[in-house]
Amino acid sequence: MVLANVPLTIIIALIAGVISIIVAIIFSLIVFREDPGNERMVEVSKYIEDGAKKFLFVQYRILSIFVLILFLIILLFLPSELTGGKVPILIRPFNGDALNWRQAIAYLIGSIASMFAGYLGMMVGVKANTRASFGCTKSLDKGFDVAFFGGAVMGLAVVGFALIGISGIFWIFKTPNVVLGFSFGASTIALFMKCGGGIYTKTADVGADLVGKAEYHLPEDDVRNPATIADNVGDNVGDIAGMGSDLFDSYVASILAAMILGYVLMAGATDAVRGTFVIYPIVISAVGLIASLIGILLIKWLKTKDPGKLLNTGTYIATALFAALGALFVWVLIKTTPGLTAAEIKQLWYDYICVVVGLLSGILIGWTSDWFTRDDKKPTRDIAHAAQEGDAVVILSGFSYGMLSVVPPAIGIAIAMAISYYLDKVYGIAMAAVGMLAIVGTIVSNDAYGPIVDNARAIAEQGGLGEEVIRTADKLDSAGNTAKAITKGFAIGAANLAVFALLFSFVEDAGIPLEIDLLNINVLIGAFLGVVVPVLFSSLLILSVQRNAAKMVDEIRDQFESNPKILEGTEPPNFKRTIEIATKGALRELVLPSIISIAMPLLIGILFGVAALGAFLAGAILSGFVFAIFMSNAGGAWDNAKKWIEDGNLGGKGTNVHKAAITGDTVGDPFKDTAGPSINTLLVVMVLTATIFLGLLILINNGAGLLAFIAG
């Protein structure tokens, strides 16, 4: 599975990746030059920074052990080469000969790149929060600029490191098989980061709301609430580092799937033509990065009193630029590839259309999330009014709208897949997935902006900046809430389309017929168990939040009862204790879900065979899509319904309506920030696990599984 030569046009991706990192560093310096504010603001920001650093330090220490174990397994026991992208020539368990060092090194690089991108973005985020808060004392535009530049560091770091890693590894080793190791490294790290960060942030958020708001009627982000700092830490480790790793993972996986399919399906073409189809997704992703960079810079120059509109405008600008530049670069690919036939040229243009279709379906999913979660739209207003009838009714309303919100994205993805398949079969679908994630630099920037302004609003209140500044920060925070809902919807849709593309590449790699026979009992069992896994995974994460939040609730109550001076405001709470509870609980609880994500596909493949494993993955993708969209949008709507009531509607804060809305928000917290987004990473990890261990699974009774061997 090695090309003789890699087309030199891949250098476009390398250059774009390097430029992205340079711009990210420049943006970091711009943020660091800003005034961090008064002494109290700096103190609060330092608490947040120390808590985030501590969590990541402990998490990375655990991850290092996990990464080392998988590195050794890949190095010693997996096949070192594939033939024609189909089955291994020879599986070489460790005997001192032909170690799989290329894929193992790529796995290590992917793991380190994912961790570093998350760390860099989060560290800039915790520096930007207090500076954005102080910027609000000058103007709305100043606060927005600081927060957006801080978020853009995460977006540019994710795409920059991903493109440098993919293009560099492929250029050196000339095979998608080695890039598979890079993608697997990114996905395993993302699973830990997203699950751990999600459990952490909702442990603190749920505890802070249930006791601070519902029981003691404290305002949002009140400095007397012991869980406030832990909640702010959670925003950074969950929504910046976690979400960044998640999209890094999906981005790399979508490119990899198209690379593998391009190599396998163009086996009959010349080496130059085959190479062009393999690097096509890399180059088109580099074009998306260029469009994102221009869009980010244009946002800086545009001025508006509506930050949410400005964020959306940046996305639309990046989309339009990408469509235009993409056509130009496809023309460049065609002109620089010798020996292309008329049919192959037409195929490249069809694939460009697939890319645009994928991007547009992503925008549709973002619009859907926006409609179902914004506080000025009918679903969220209906949920808020349902709170007048009590806790149970607000839960029923949010649950129903969450399920309803699955329909438009499902239709959008189905249409995108149908058009793409008609244009260029499974390679077209893979390119649609690449297109959906092409402007991920803009998407991650908008997403990281959200937790920065959330923290900025908290610091404005805790730093005593006054009501006018807090209202200014609230405007930024409101835009951030909507941006996070849109980006989560975008990320879920993009991840699912990327995983579908990975499934097709897995099927091609294994030599399984695309029409997997569901009348075969092993295949049917595989599909059935696949449907169940996202349900199991979600339940474990939500139970983790519930157990951890119970400890947090007890701790907050104990601090209030044992030290009345905390509520009087004459003594500070013990923030370190609540941070410690969230940290230890999150790291302890993420182990089992992480093991399941890797163990389940291996178990299915070993017992029931490779065909059953393909059906297992298909079932998991379909049910995972439904659960991820439903939980993300239901949680976002519950959250914004509560915020709309807190703005003074339906009686405002402290009323029974407000308490019912808090219950809805509490249920929605682990839905939207823990279980829902983590399903993306679960799906990618399972498909990549199946693909990277495919050689070993085929050894077991020629891929038919142990049970067939025993029965035979």
pLDDT value at residue 296: 87
- One-letter amino acid at 594 equals S
Token couple for 135: 């910027």
Q: What pLDDT is attached to residue 661?
A: 93
**What span, in angstroms and rounded, lies between the C-alpha atoms of 276 and 266?**
10
- Per-residue pLDDT of 270-287, as tens digits, reads 989 999 999 999 999 999
Average the pLDDT over each of 11-25, 168-182, 351-365, 440-454 and give the range with the smallest value: 440-454
- For residue 709, what pLDDT is reported? 65
Q: Which of the two residues, 44 and 518, has the higher pLDDT score?
A: 44
Identify the bridge partners of residue 87 per DSSP, sorted by sequence position.
83
Span 158-182, average pLDDT: 94
Q: What mean pLDDT is predicted for residues 193-200?
A: 87
- Cα-flanking dihedrals φ and ψ of residue 420, to 5°? -65, -40
> Whose CA is closest to 4, among 261, 332, 278?
278
The string of pLDDT tens digits covering residues 287-312 is 999 999 998 888 777 766 778 778 87
Per-residue confidence band for 77, with pLDDT thresholds at 50, 70 and 90 = confident
CA distance 579 to 55: 9
Summarised one tens digit per residue, pLDDT across range 328-370 is 999 999 999 999 999 999 999 999 999 999 998 988 888 888 8
> Which H helix or E strand runs over 426?
helix 407-436
Contact 470, 460 (CB under 8 A): yes
CA-to-CA distance for 80 and 99, rounded, in angstroms?
Answer: 7
Q: Is the pLDDT of residue 121 over 90?
A: no
Q: Average pLDDT in the 518-545 region? A: 92
Percent of the chain scored above 70 by pLDDT? 94
pLDDT confidence tier of residue 94, bands split at 50, 70 and 90: very low
Element (H, E) at 87: strand 87-88
**Greatest mean pLDDT among 46-50, 262-266, 384-388:** 384-388
Output the CA–CA distances (angstroms, integers) from residue 264 to 120, 159, 254, 280, 427, in the order listed. 36, 26, 16, 14, 10
Q: How many other CB atoms sit within 10 Å of the CB of residue 149?
A: 27
**Predicted model pTM:** 0.91
Query: What's the DSSP call for residue 270?
Result: -
Question: In which residue are the tokens 């065609």 written?
Answer: 334
Q: Which of 91-95, 486-490, 547-551 has the lowest mean pLDDT?
A: 91-95
Cβ–Cβ under 8 Å, residues 415 and 676: no
Residue 175 pLDDT > 70: yes
Quick one: pLDDT at residue 96? 40
Which of the two residues, 219 and 629, has the higher pLDDT score?
Answer: 629
Task: Find all residues with CB under 8 Å of 74, minimum gap 6, and list them.
Answer: 100, 103, 104, 107, 181, 184, 692
- pLDDT of 5 reads 78
Q: Which residues contact 515 (CB under 8 A, 6 or more apart)?
A: none
Q: Is the pLDDT of residue 7 over 60?
A: yes
Domain regions of the chain by residue span: 8-79+98-711
**From CA 549, how far away is CA 488, in angstroms rounded?**
23
Give the burial class of 83: count Cβ atoms within 10 A of its Cβ; 0-12 exposed, 13-18 middle, 19 or more buried: exposed
**Contact between residue 243 and residue 191 where contact means Cβ atoms under 8 Å apart:** no
Cβ neighbors of 654 (< 8 A, separation 6 or more) are 217
Query: What value does the mean pLDDT of the chain take?
Result: 87
How many C-alpha atoms does 413 have within 13 Å on its Cβ side?
28
Inform me whether the pLDDT recorded for 173 exceeds 60.
yes
- What is the identity of the amino acid at 643? K
Query: What is the full DSSP assignment across 22-41?
Result: HHHHHHHHHHHTS---SHHH
Residue environment code for 186-195, b if the CB has 16+ CB neighbours within 10 A, otherwise e? bbbbbbbbbb
> Which range, 184-193, 390-399, 512-521, is most confident?
390-399
Q: What is the three-class DSSP state of 88?
A: strand
HSE (side-chain half, CA atoms, 13 Å) at 430: 31
Q: Cα dist. 502→261, 425, 509, 683, 694 in Å?
A: 9, 14, 10, 10, 13
What's the pLDDT score for residue 23?
A: 94
Question: What number is the average pLDDT over the span 50-76?
Answer: 89
CB 112 within 8 A of CB 169: no
In terms of phi and psi (left: phi > 0; alpha: psi -120 to 50; beta: otherwise), the region of 464 is: left
The answer on pLDDT for 485 being more than 90 is no
Give the residue-averaged pLDDT of 449-464. Answer: 87
- When mean pLDDT is compared over 298-302, 532-536, 589-593, the highest value belongs to 532-536
Residue 83 backbone phi and psi in degrees, to 5: -105, 120
Alpha helices in 208-306 (DSSP H): 228-234, 243-265, 271-301
Q: Write out the two tokens for 582.
A: 């969230």
Which is higher by pLDDT, 86 or 190? 190
d(CA 237, CA 172): 34
Q: Which two tokens stand for residue 478?
A: 């409101």
